[in-house]
Amino acid sequence: MIKILYDGTNETAEYLKRSQLEYADINARVKEIVAGVKERGDAVLFEYTEKFDKIKLDKDSVKVSEKEIDGAYSKISKKLLSAMRKAKKNIIAYQKRILRPQFAAQGIKSGTGYMLRPVETAAIYVPGGRAAYPSSVLMCALPAVVAGVKKIIMATPAGGGVNPLTLVAARECGVSEIYKLGGAQAVAALAYGTESVAKADIIAGPGNIYVTLAKKEVFGACGIDMLAGPSEILIIADGKANAGFIAADMLSQAEHDELAAPILVTDSADLAARVSEELAAMLEKLPRKNIAQKSVSDNGAIIITESIARAAELSNILAPEHLELCVAGPEKLLPLINNAGAVFLGEYSPEPLGDYYSGCDHVLPTSGTAKFFSALSADTFVKKISLINYSKEMLSKAKHDIILLAECEGLTAHANSVKIRFGG
């Protein structure tokens, strides 16, 4: 079952070093797939799709048709469509609030500023296979819409057909092209372009370890949002927390993927024992029991520490994708939190609230990358271009310093570029 560890032991220290991105064998395979698609385009792309997804595609069938999308609407309920549209409204409102303001040089006394420009083509990757994730369509596409991206394309695995909800979500968000592609081969096609797949300026969206490592591999040929691999949740809880709530929230991530990591850090040995019992009981009732059980046993842990403050320190080391604060006065703990994809405050802000409805994005950095990556947002799809707008008078005041700095580096042409404007 789940490991119960004690802070300060060698076993806990080893667990804290864990990374879900260190798979040498998978990385080698991903490199091979990416190189193949880059060099041979559609031919190898369709070969890999048949091999991995068990479907045959060609240039005429790789895209989802408008007829398929029209038909998808008839396969979902009005209640689901209504719920999706409410979530869409919340996401757009949130993204508009957080999009950084645009400044121009004109009127700025310092003579500097910046302007924002969206990328021209954004690709979103939406997982498929074991489960359908229409919520990921909304979470990836709508920030791009708010950013002003002109063309949004999408790739999603289609073994067994693309889920109708995923297709409806794509149309609701204004996605212009949908490709029936998944895995590392889809990422490579979006990064480099093929005869049938448009090249993107940036690829955003979560995926399995193959997708994540492929994004890492193609970075530079295009931009990426982050490394969003197998899901993880870390819960900091005190002794008064509800063990059932915690167990349920841990399993909400464990059912995603066998590589997912559900973690509890607490200062209460009693709570740790109760959560372990609740996990065992709830696991037996899960339809995705086999996946969740392997996630819990292989990657899960309950860590018992001396204090909630120390729990926050351990959380910062792991830098979790999702962090729940199930403690009294959770907002008081925020000053101690430095690394997390998203923070959920209190027992009535469960992780699925962020997954589906609150408006905050659920595409988040994993595997410790929350130390330097942020949640997907409209900013992800925007470039900040510097603006410099000096007058002759302003440059005159700065010229001697600029010339001195240029000449100290031996760059006399740089210095002359300023001197010549003043008769030098």
Catalytic residues: 321-322
Here the tokens at position 271 are 């709570």
Instruction: Single out the residue of 181, 178, 263 nearest to residue 3, CA to CA.
Output: 263
Instruction: Single out the residue of 124, 131, 353 nearest to residue 233, CA to CA.
Output: 353
55 φ, ψ to 5°?
Answer: -130, 145
| Residue 9: CB atoms within 10 Å | 11
What element of type H or E holds 322?
strand 322-326
**Buried (b) or exposed (e) across 70-103, using 16+ Cβ within 10 A?**
eebeeebeeeeeeebeebbebbbebbeeebeeee
Here the tokens at position 368 are 């410790």
Q: Is the dihedral of CA 31, 222, 146, 340 positive or negative?
A: positive
Direct distance between the N- and C-terminal alpha carbons of the chain, in angstroms, rounded to an integer: 78
Q: Are 302 and 275 in contact (CB under 8 A)?
A: yes
Beta-carbon-side half-sphere exposure of residue 396 (alpha carbons within 13 Å): 5
Q: Show the 3-state SS of 348-367.
A: CCCHHHHHHCCCCCCCCCCC
| Residue 317: CB atoms within 10 Å | 13
Q: Are 213 and 191 in contact (CB under 8 A)?
A: no
Beta bridge partners of 179: 63, 155
Instruction: Single out the residue of 234, 312, 233, 298 nearest to residue 267, CA to CA.
Output: 312
Q: Are 141 and 152 in contact (CB under 8 A)?
A: yes
